[in-house]
Amino acid sequence: MRIRPPNRRIGILLSGRGSNFEAIAENVATRSLDAEIAIVISNVESAPGLARARERGLNGVFIPSQEKPREAFDWDVVSALNAHEVGLVVLAGFMRIFSPIMLQAYPNLILNIHPSLLPAFPGRDVQQQALDHGVKFSGCTVHIVNEQLDGGPIVMQATVPVMDSDTADTLAARILVQEHRIFSQAIDLILSGRCDLNGRKVRVTHGFP
Ligand code: GRF
């Protein structure tokens, strides 16, 4: 099955720092990523990423999630995305799990980035998990979001070495460089309709490279 978003308008969801958002925004601004950031949504009002989106003149919207049923929050997000004709949803450090409402509104059209080589180390504090496990390589994964936490089909991965002297912070910084590099590439792959999805396998089959 070909994955083909209806347009190149992306909606970015974030909850924190927003360095992945900034890397994408920079690539859009310099036209190395052919996309339009239609809306940036945060469920955290004080998220630095939301402030940075507004500083860039982008449409930054706070949608509260606290004390709200998961479905109600998802409806609010889907309404905002629809109102801005978003074709692809990009999770850039978005710390919340979706209900089926969101997954059905954007089937195979939600991308997430995770700072490990999935399926190793899903969840949180994954750099520390990688160090504790003693792996020699770690990295990052861009995947399609499905109903499993960090379990959706893998679009792209990048590896980094793990040093004996690493702390969770130094490893995270090394991985982040790769996150900033591959997230925009994966977004472009999906936006340009070059990927097929068979089961959980994503293959670049159209117009490679
Ligand atoms: C990144 O490490 C990303 O992989 C994870 O959350 C972090 C977000 O960082 N999902 P930033 O807000 O993009 O700087």
Are residue 129 and residue 71 in the same domain, yes or no? no
The C-alpha atoms of residue 1 and residue 205 are separated, in whole angstroms, by: 11
Range of the domain at 116: 112-209
CATH of the domain at 173: 3.40.50.170
Q: Please spell the DSSP secondary structure of 3-65, one letter per residue.
A: E--SSSEEEEEESS--HHHHHHHHHHHTTSS--EEEEEEES-TT-HHHHHHHHTT--EEE---
Confirm or reject: Cβ of 87 under 6 Å from ligand 1: no
Catalytic entry in 84, 114, 143, 180 = 114
> If DSSP states are collapsed to H, E and C, what string results for 65-118?
CCCCCHHHHHHHHHHHHHHCCCCEEEECCCCCCCCHHHHHHCCCCEEEEECCCC
**pLDDT tens-digit profile, the chain (209 residues):** 999 999 999 999 999 999 999 999 999 999 999 999 999 999 999 999 999 999 999 999 999 999 999 999 999 999 999 999 999 999 999 988 899 999 999 999 999 999 999 999 999 999 999 999 999 999 999 999 999 999 999 999 999 999 999 999 999 999 999 999 999 999 999 999 999 999 999 999 876 55
Regarding the beta carbon of 122 and ligand 1, being less than 6 Å apart is answered: no
Domain limit, last residue, from 64, 79, 107: 107
Of all protein residues, the one whose alpha carbon is nearest to atom 14 of ligand 1 is 19
Prediction pTM value: 0.96
Residue 99 Cα to ligand 1 middle (Å): 21
Of 92, 107, 122, which residue is a domain's last? 107
